[in-house]
């Protein structure tokens, strides 16, 4: 068995523009690994390739070359409309919890749907129990489960999205800017919840964000991307306190100064 | 005399009179930089938009006065003030520039609107002032040919074109990447020193506000809850909401629980005769839900709270 939960080796991806004149290299030769139970933070600015990389890790898109392995086994690319148990291991949580929930579906159904796919053996009663348990774990009370997404606040909606991703019994959660769309006062709440859930469910996290301050707080290791390449990676301390790459240094210097230490 | 004085400003929805901004008063002195911080729905942008009568459709100012240099801003004097003595920069530069018009022409238009002869040299100077390389080529380009940061530079060039006394910046860097945000922050600081303009900086990002202004106004659920200098607000906040907000930023030990405020902000119109923060407050007293706390001053700092936190963070 592999020592790593996630191993990404030599992943490259390019897109051809609509007019077929130009080819855009979105990712070039990305290699990294994450140990079980660790949090890898990926930072970079818009266009650096971090979203393409998340899509490839999640199996939503195939790389041109290179491989993605979860617990030593190749992670399959999802074929349209067919979800199998093999995709279960990696689940995504997106930035905007409103656009990732169906506005016409009560949240109970949104989660029950996922339970049904991955645990079809459960009876209706057991499924209900599982949905309610997931909601409780993310701090949403059971009697709100028949409400629609618009009846919840942004922070609550993100909790619901997290519960839905947990319904698949994942091993890795890919968090793509999970708090960027939320108000400052609820961000801390969601971060605290994510850190708790990681322990409870024995998860490994990939935390993608442009917010260095938050990445620094949550990550064990940090990987900095620029223009489709990894420019620096290391422990959070090494990267934040002794950055080696010029681009990393520029990013850190650009953080607005609110340097209060506890 | 204050440069701008906003007194008892109240903004509501036109259709059903729901309060969005409740009795907001503040002043900005000449050359002073003031920040308004708050979350979405706190009323910070509406307060700023009210100054130049730019409230969106469906929302209206129901009471309050806005005085500029000691005189109330009358509808007929708006054209002389807007874009001239007070100008504004918005969050999204793409929607504030005309996509069908060349950059240079958009700058000329501002001059013409204020009956100033459009001098090409002045347009090029405005562009080079905001560090746009090759101003001649840029003046001849369309907005879509520019990156987000470059577009925001153009907006700043337009806003500063007539050397305004007050620049209102409504989340001008929120849509930008951090390294570009850094460039824009530095540019505004530099231009402020050059023009000695006052700044009203609206943001949800406390870090940016701390860097850009001297005085901070904290808004919550449509009301001002605390006002003070950056140092006072960050080191000795009194209102429990401010304390929570600053606390959520204080660096915690790596991967340890962050300080958070439970719950979510209420809609401004649902809080009438009570403190808007009462439902989330750890310091709540019975009277907090019976009476609206007024803003009271203690030295140069003021706060609206019956049970303020003393002794700093």
List pLDDT tens digits, range B172-185.
988 888 888 999 99
Give the mean pLDDT of A55-60. 90
* pLDDT over 90 (residue A109): yes
Give A141 to chain B, closest Cα distance, Å. 13
- Chain B residues whose C-beta is within 8 A of a chain A C-beta are 39-40, 177-182, 185, 204-208, 210-211, 234, 241, 244-245, 248-255, 257-262, 264-265
**Total CB pairs under 8 A between chain A and B:** 95
d(CA B189, CA B202): 15
Whether residue A153 and residue B264 make contact (CB cut-off 8 A), yes or no, is yes
Give the mean pLDDT of B274-300. 93
Which of B220, B264, B267, B280 is the best residue to mutate to test the A interface, defined by the most A CB atoms within 10 Å of its own CB?
B264
For strand B71-72 and strand B59-68, is the pairing parallel, antiparallel, or unpaired? antiparallel
Whether residue B261 and residue A186 make contact (CB cut-off 8 A), yes or no, is yes
Pick from A188, A220, A262: CB nearest B248? A188
* pLDDT over 70 (residue A83): no
Give phi and psi for B45, each to the nearest 5: -70, -40
d(CA A132, CA A220): 32
Whether residue B248 and residue A185 make contact (CB cut-off 8 A), yes or no, is yes
pLDDT digits (tens, 9 = 90+) for B72-87: 999 888 988 999 999 9
The pLDDT value given to residue A80: 61
d(CA B220, CA B214): 20
Beta bridge partners of A39: A205
Give phi and psi for A7, each to the nearest 5: -130, 120
pLDDT digits (tens, 9 = 90+) for B202-258: 998 888 999 999 999 999 999 999 999 999 999 899 999 999 888 877 667 888 888
**Least confident interval from A19-23, A127-131, B144-148:** A19-23
For chain B, what percent of residues have pLDDT higher than 70? 99
Indicate the pLDDT class of residue A261, thresholds 50, 70 and 90.
Answer: very low
Q: How many helices (H) and strands (E) does chain B have?
A: 11, 12
Helix, strand or coil, per DSSP, at residue A152: coil
Give the mean pLDDT of A222-247. 96
The pLDDT value given to residue A262: 34
Give the mean pLDDT of B150-163. 93
Q: Nearest 5°: CA angle at B92, between B145 and B39?
A: 155
The pLDDT value given to residue B99: 92
Give A111 to chain B, closest Cα distance, Å. 23
Whether residue B260 and residue A185 make contact (CB cut-off 8 A), yes or no, is yes
**Across chain B, what does the average pLDDT equal?**
92
Give phi and psi for B281, each to the nearest 5: -90, 140
Q: Which residue has the tokens 């392995």?
A: A69
The pLDDT value given to residue B313: 67
The pLDDT value given to residue A2: 64
* pLDDT over 90 (residue B33): yes
Contacts of B251 (CB under 8 A, 6+ apart): A217, A260, A261, A262
**Least confident interval from A171-175, A199-203, A256-260, B61-65:** A256-260
Note whether B165 and B197 are within 8 A (CB): yes
């Amino acid at each position: 068995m592999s020592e790593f939960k996630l191993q990404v080796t030599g992943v490259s991806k390019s897109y051809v523009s609509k007019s077929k004149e130009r080819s855009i290299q979105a990712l070039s030769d990305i290699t990294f690994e994450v140990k079980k139970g660790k949090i890898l933070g990926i930072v970079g600015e818009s266009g650096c390739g971090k979203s393409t990389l998340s899509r490839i890790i999640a199996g939503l898109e195939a790389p041109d070359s290179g491989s993605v392995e979860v617990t030593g086994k190749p992670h399959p690319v999802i074929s349209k409309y067919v979800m199998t148990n093999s995709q279960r291991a990696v689940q995504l949580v997106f930035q905007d919890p409103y656009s990732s929930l169906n506005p016409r579906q009560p949240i109970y159904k949104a989660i029950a749907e996922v339970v049904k796919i991955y645990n079809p053996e459960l009876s209706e009663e057991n499924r209900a129990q599982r949905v309610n348990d997931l909601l409780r774990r993310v701090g949403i009370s059971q009697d709100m489960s028949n409400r629609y997404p618009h009846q919840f606040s942004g922070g609550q909606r993100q909790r619901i999205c997290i519960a839905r991703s947990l319904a698949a019994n994942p091993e890795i959660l890919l968090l793509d800017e999970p708090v960027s769309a939320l108000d400052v006062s609820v961000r801390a709440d969601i971060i605290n919840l994510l850190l708790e859930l990681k322990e409870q469910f024995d998860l490994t996290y990939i935390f993608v964000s442009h917010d260095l301050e938050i990445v620094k707080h949550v990550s064990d290791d940090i990987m900095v991307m620029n223009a489709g390449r990894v420019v620096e990676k290391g422990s959070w301390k090494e990267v934040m306190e002794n950055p080696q790459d010029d681009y990393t240094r520029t990013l850190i210097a650009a953080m607005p100064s609110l340097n209060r230490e506890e | 005399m204050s440069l701008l004085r906003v007194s008892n400003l109240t903004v509501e929805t036109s259709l059903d009179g729901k309060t969005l901004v409740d009795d907001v008063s503040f002043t900005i002195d000449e050359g002073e930089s003031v920040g308004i911080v708050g979350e979405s729905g706190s009323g910070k942008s509406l307060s700023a938009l009210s100054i130049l009568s730019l409230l969106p459709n469906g929302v209206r100012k129901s009471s309050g006065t806005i005085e500029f240099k000691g005189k109330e801003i009358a509808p007929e004097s708006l054209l002389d003030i807007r874009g001239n003595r007070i100008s504004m920069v918005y969050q999204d530069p793409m929607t504030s520039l005309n996509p069908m018009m060349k950059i240079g022409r958009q700058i000329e238009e501002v001059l013409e609107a204020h009956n100033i002869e459009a001098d090409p040299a002045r347009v090029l100077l405005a562009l080079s002032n905001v560090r746009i390389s090759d101003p001649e080529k840029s003046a001849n380009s369309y907005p879509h040919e520019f990156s987000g940061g470059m577009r925001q530079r153009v907006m700043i060039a337009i806003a500063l074109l007539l050397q305004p006394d007050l620049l209102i910046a409504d989340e001008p860097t929120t849509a930008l990447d951090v390294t570009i945000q850094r460039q824009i922050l530095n540019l505004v600081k530099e231009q402020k020193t050059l023009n000695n303009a006052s700044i009203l900086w609206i943001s949800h990002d406390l870090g940016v506000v701390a860097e850009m202004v001297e005085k901070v106004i904290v808004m919550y659920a449509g009301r001002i809850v605390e006002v003070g200098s950056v140092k006072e607000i960050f080191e000795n906040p009194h209102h429990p909401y401010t304390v929570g907000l600053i606390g959520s930023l204080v660096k915690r030990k790596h991967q340890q629980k962050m300080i958070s405020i439970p719950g979510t902000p209420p809609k401004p119109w649902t809080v009438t005769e009570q403190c808007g923060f009462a439902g989330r407050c750890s310091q709540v007293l019975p009277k907090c839900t019976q009476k609206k706390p007024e803003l009271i001053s203690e030295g140069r700092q003021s706060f609206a709270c019956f049970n303020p936190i003393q002794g700093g963070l």
